[in-house]
Amino acid sequence: MKRFDFDGLGEKLLRNFAGNSSRRSFLSKLGATIVAAPAFPLLPVARAQAQPSKPDRSPEAKTAFARNAQTKDDTKCDYWRYCAIDGSLCSCCGGGMSSCPPGAEPSPVSWVGTCINPDDGKAYLIAYRDCCGKSACGQCGCDNTDRETQLYMPQLNNNVIWCFGTKSMEYHCSTAVLVGKAS
Amino acid sequence: MGDFRKREMGERALASMISASITARLSRLACASLISALAISAGSAAWAQTPAPAAATAAATRAPVEPEEPFTHKLPEWSPHWGFVRGGWENGGTRIWNGDTGKMLGLVATGRWSDLALDPKRRFIYVAETIWTKVNRGTRQDMISVYDPVNMALLAEIPLPGRLIIGAMKNNFVISDDGKTGFVYNFSPASSVNVVDLEKRKLSQVVELPGCASLVPVAGIGFSALCSDGTLATVTVGPKTSTVTNSQPFFKAAEDGVFDFYAYDRTKGEIVTLTYTGLVRTVKLGATPVIGEAFSIQAAAGVRPGDTKPLDINWFPGGRQAMTLHRATGMLYVLMHRGEYWTQKAPGEELWVVDMATRKVVKRVPLKKEAGNIEVTQDAKPLIFLSGDEGLLQVMDAATYEIKHTIERGGGGVIATPDID
């Protein structure tokens, strides 16, 4: 599996932000959140580092979702990356597991999940990025809730529409972008 | 083809006659009579093609035709037995059901991105909503729309600086007991609360509230919210600014969080909270909240307490609005399902009735149809509204647990019942 490319992601994000001056207000709000709540783990990387050093990944320690997850078909709700997704799978809407359907705009922020890949038994951090700007796709609706929390921990809540910083906040579908190894 | 042309010509003639009648400023009654007459003659033409005996019978039994004036109904006087039941994802409108008759009374225009709140004094219906000037694009507009409770006429729109877009949740938009102040949760993704003066119908202030959400009014103080550090934040709302204080932590937000659909008892100034594993707790609201001792709902039913371990199949609470409290009797109704931990959204297979005074589960009611939302009416002969993802609405008698009505497409979303005095 390809290693997570921090530099690549950083460059991509920077280019994306630099090219969209209209997002300044959104960035200032995001900045306000981070400044106002230093303990608020918005960054998935911070969460990954916060995981215990050697978590138990035995079958007995896995959730029902993780024990039954598969790695072949990303248009099914039991695909391993979807352990905390809520919404229509972009894979069923003309997009992909980590890409938006034509004409839809990916949200620069997301909620996150920690999912176990059954092929290697390791945990990975998944960023659930909504694709925005079109009416709801309505295909392949899934609602998986591993380690999903309530609204006061929004970064782990799968009900929030994460179309922040996009041209339109209309929700279309959800993707599951691999961020890196969780531990 | 010939028939089609004739019909087309007939339609044109009808349209031009209607147009002519309007330009000639005929009275409405005359116009209605004309249209009725034309419609009848068109109908007669169609009937001419049907066998003669049938036509003769139909003509003989036809009732005398009186011209009718279309009109719009008013809502009847509000009953405590009404349920305001939101549709599902595909149809966000909130249907008003009479729990006694099972009949629909009307619909509140709650779009997909909105939250409903009923004035505790039943004087207004409020909808906090977000729309865009060009439907899915254009300028975003956030507001509270105010409707009167009889004609359901739009009385006012109170602009908001923003609000959380999430569909609908029970405690995102709440109103103070006296009906004077509204609290609308905002997430941008910085977390804040819009404090709205509902008498002057304008925003009074925005309170930054990082890491907290799900609101409840606190009489004489302002409001409280659940926080990610496991505390209850209490916001003392001043004329222009507010102060935020936090209680001691009493739950683990990431491991065993308190559900954000917790119940509020305004007569006692308390909330009842429930965690994923099934811990029930009362919290007395105020400047310094008093956090009560927790008890396990499973243990209260004589079942092993819930825990967070995988492969441990037990009864767990679950749903989007899985708990409701009948204030006068102190009965807590909770939707429960069998499963492992992390099934907090799974719909209820059973309804567990907890007597909050004795901390015992006094009844377990199997549900023939699973439900993810529950709300009880607050009167002395309460009804329980239950709704599920497929839009099936059930109305249960809270005394006998008998299902009184089962309504297809009744609404699969959040349920609200009117407050009583």
Q: Looking at the structure, do residues B43 and B102 belong to the same domain, yes or no?
A: no
Q: Which of B30, B61, B92 is the last residue of a domain?
A: B61
Residues of B in contact with A156 (CB under 8 A): 254
CB–CB contact A168 B136 (8 Å) = yes
Report the pLDDT value the prediction gives residue B52, as an integer from 0 to 100: 47
* Residue positions of A annotated with a catalytic role: 111, 130
Shared-domain flag, residues B253 and B362: yes
- Length of chain A in residues, anyone? 183
Residues of A in contact with B227 (CB under 8 A): 152
Find residues 161-180 of chain B whose CB sits inside 8 Å of chain A.
164-167, 169, 172
Residue A1 lies in a domain: no
Q: Please give the pLDDT value at position B87.
A: 92
CA neighbor of B187 nearest in space, from B212, B170, B204, B169:
B212
Q: Does A150 touch chain B (CB under 8 A)?
A: yes
- Degrees, nearest 5: CA angle B371-B90-B389: 10
Q: How far is CA B177 from CA A156, B125, B417, in A?
A: 32, 15, 15
CB-based contact, A46 to chain B, within 8 Å: no
The last residue of one of the domains, among B28, B61, B94, is B61
| Phi, psi (deg, nearest 5) at residue B79 | -115, 145
Confidence of residue A112 (pLDDT cuts 50, 70, 90): very high
Does residue B409 sit within a domain?
yes
Q: Which pLDDT score, from 0 to 100, does residue B61 have?
A: 66
List CB contacts of B64: < 8 A, sequence separation 6 or more.
Answer: none
- Rounded to 5 degrees, φ, ψ at B116 are -95, 145
Low-confidence ranges of chain B (pLDDT < 70): 1-61
Instruction: Indicate whether B412 and B266 sit together in one domain.
Output: yes
- Give the mutation candidate from B115, B132, B165 for the A interface (greatest A CB count, under 10 A): B165
User: Would residue B71 count as lying in a domain?
Assistant: no
- Shared-domain flag, residues B14 and B109: no
Contact B210 A61 (CB under 8 A): no
Torsion (CA) B38, B41, B45, B48 in degrees, nearest 10? 160
* Least confident stretch, A64-68, A78-82, A173-177: A64-68
- Residues B186-210, buried b or exposed e (16+ Cβ, 10 A)? bbbbbbbbbbbebeeeebebbbbbb
- B10 and B101 housed in the same domain: no
Inform me whether the pLDDT recorded for A145 exceeds 50.
yes
For chain B, how far is it from start to end, CA to CA, in angstroms?
Answer: 67
Q: Touching check for B332 and chain A: CB below 8 Å? A: no
| Chain A touched by B210 (CB under 8 Å) | yes
Determine phi and psi for A61, rounding to 5 degrees.
-95, -5
Q: Is B228 on the interface with A (CB under 8 A)?
A: yes
Residue B350 C-alpha, separation from nearest chain A C-alpha, in angstroms: 21
Domain boundary among B32, B61, B90: B61
Token pair 């441990």 is found at B312
- Yes or no, beta carbons of A145 and B132 under 8 Å apart: no
Supply the range of the domain harboring residue B44.
Answer: 2-61
Q: Are residues B171 and B294 in the same domain?
A: yes
Residues A17-32 pLDDT 10s:
333 334 344 444 444 4
Q: How far apart (Å, rounded) are the C-alpha atoms in residues B5 and B13? A: 12
Number of domains, chain B? 2
Strand partners, B280: B274, B295
B53 plus B111 within the same structural domain = no
Per-residue model confidence (pLDDT) at position B57:
54
Residue B116 lies in a domain: yes
- Best residue of B187, B228, B251 to probe chain A, by most A CBs closer than 10 Å: B228
Chain B residues close to A67, C-beta within 8 Å:
310
Residues of chain B found within 8 Å of residue A42, distances taken between Cβ atoms: 189
B229 and B349, same structural domain? yes
CA atoms of B173 and B323, how far apart (whole Å): 18
Kindly list the residues from chain A whose CB atom is less than 8 angstroms away from the CB atom of residue B90: 138
pLDDT at res. A27:
45
Domain assignment present for residue A114? The answer is yes
Chain A touched by B29 (CB under 8 Å): no
Question: How many residues are given for chain B?
Answer: 421
What's the first-to-final CA gap in chain A, in angstroms? Answer: 15
Q: What is the mean pLDDT of chain A?
A: 78
Residue among B185, B197, B327 at smallest CA distance from B269: B327
Residues B98 and B48 in one domain: no
Q: Which amino acid is at A173?
A: C
- Residue A106 within a domain: yes
How far apart, in whole angstroms, are the C-alpha atoms of residue B269 and residue A28? 38
**Cα separation of B168 and A151, whole Å?**
12
d(C-alpha B268, C-alpha B282), whole Å: 11
**Mind telling me how many Å the CA of A72 is from chain B's nearest CA?**
24
Listed residue (A183, A125, A182, A180) closest to A2, CA to CA: A180
- What's the CA gap between B144 and B363, in Å, rounded? 40
Select the residue of B166, B254, B343 nearest A160 (Cβ to Cβ). B166
User: Is the Cβ pair B169, A168 closer than 8 Å?
Assistant: no
Instruction: Indicate whether A24 belongs to any domain.
Output: yes
Contact B254 A149 (CB under 8 A): yes
If asked whether residues B46 and B133 sit together in one domain, one would say no
Whether B252 is covered by a domain: the verdict is yes
Question: A35-79 pLDDT, tens per residue?
Answer: 333 333 343 333 333 444 566 666 667 899 999 999 999 999 999
Q: Kindly state the helix (H) or strand (E) to which residue B217 belongs, with its residue range.
A: strand B212-218
Closest residue of chain B to A86, computed from CA coordinates: B345
Residue of A nearest to B318 (CA): A145
Does residue B43 form part of some domain? yes
What's residue A54's pLDDT?
60
Number of domains in chain A: 1
Q: Between residues 69 and 88 of chain B, which touch chain A (CB distance below 8 Å)?
A: none
Cβ A158 vs Cβ A61: under 8 Å: no
CATH number at residue A35: 2.60.30.10
The H or E element spanning position A10 is helix A6-18
- Report the pLDDT value the prediction gives residue B221, as an integer from 0 to 100: 98
pLDDT digits (tens, 9 = 90+) for B298-330: 999 999 999 999 889 999 999 999 999 999 999
Residue A59's pLDDT is 65
Closest Cβ–Cβ partner in B137, B210, B226 for A33: B210
Residue window 68-107, chain A: list those with CB within 8 Å of chain B.
Answer: none
- The answer to whether position B72 is within a domain reads no
Mark yes or no for CB contact A40/B228 under 8 Å.
yes
